[in-house]
Amino acid sequence: MMKQIKTLLIAAVMMLGASQMNAQAKTAHIDVNDLLSKMPEMTSAKAQLEKLSKTFDGEYSTMVTEYQTKMKKYEAEASTQTETANETRAKEMQDMGQRIQQYRDSAQKQLQDKEMEIVKPIMDKAKAAIIKVAKAKGYQYVMDSASLILADGPNLFEDVKKELKF
């Protein structure tokens, strides 16, 4: 009787193990950053953002140069001015410095907002293509290989690239 229970228990464990192997989810991987960087739309987006960034940088540089020029002038003339005039000039320079700081902060925010506006549709398109390819190939999970320590499985990069037609 004990032998039969032992045999039955071993058979149950083996069946459970076999069903577990069948129940394992199919996974694949793809380097999402690599995919995004190679998409033609991303090249165009980067060019737009670079152009906007250069515009902001140019305006910021002009403001800083004006600030520095004024500061040198005021420092050179400080000994010939009244205390009241020097205080007024110091306040003017402080205000100008604050405006430059506000401009820089505003430009950074505008650049970040524009980046999200331009890049989000590209990311959504890549994600949709990854999902479509993964489902067509029967994968339940797709991991970003950029964050994996070991990516020793199917790589969907080329299939997704074909799906995106580039």
What DSSP character marks residue 148? -
Q: Provide the pLDDT confidence category of residue 4 given band limits of 50, 70 and 90.
A: low
Give Dmax (Cα) for the chain.
Answer: 113
Q: Provide the pLDDT confidence category of residue 6 given band limits of 50, 70 and 90.
A: low
Give pLDDT, residue 151: 84
CA 81 vs. chain centroid, Å, equals 52
Give pLDDT, residue 1: 53
In angstroms, the Cα distances linking 2 to 15, 90, 142 are: 20, 97, 47
pLDDT in tens, 132-163: 999 999 999 999 998 888 888 899 999 999 99
pLDDT in tens, 7-27: 545 644 555 444 444 457 899
Cβ–Cβ < 8 Å for 24, 130? no
Length of the chain, in residues = 166
What is the domain partition of the chain in residue ranges?
Answer: 2-163
Q: Which of 129, 128, 156 is nearest to 142 (CA)?
A: 156
5 or 107: whose pLDDT is higher? 107
What is the distance in angstroms between the CA of the first residue and the CA of the last residue of the chain? 67
Spatial CB neighbours of 41, under 8 Å, sequence gap ≥ 6: 122, 125
Strands, DSSP E only, in the chain? 27-30, 141-144
- Rounded CA Rg of the chain: 31
DSSP secondary structure, 23-42, as one string: HSPPEEEE-HHHHHHHSHHH
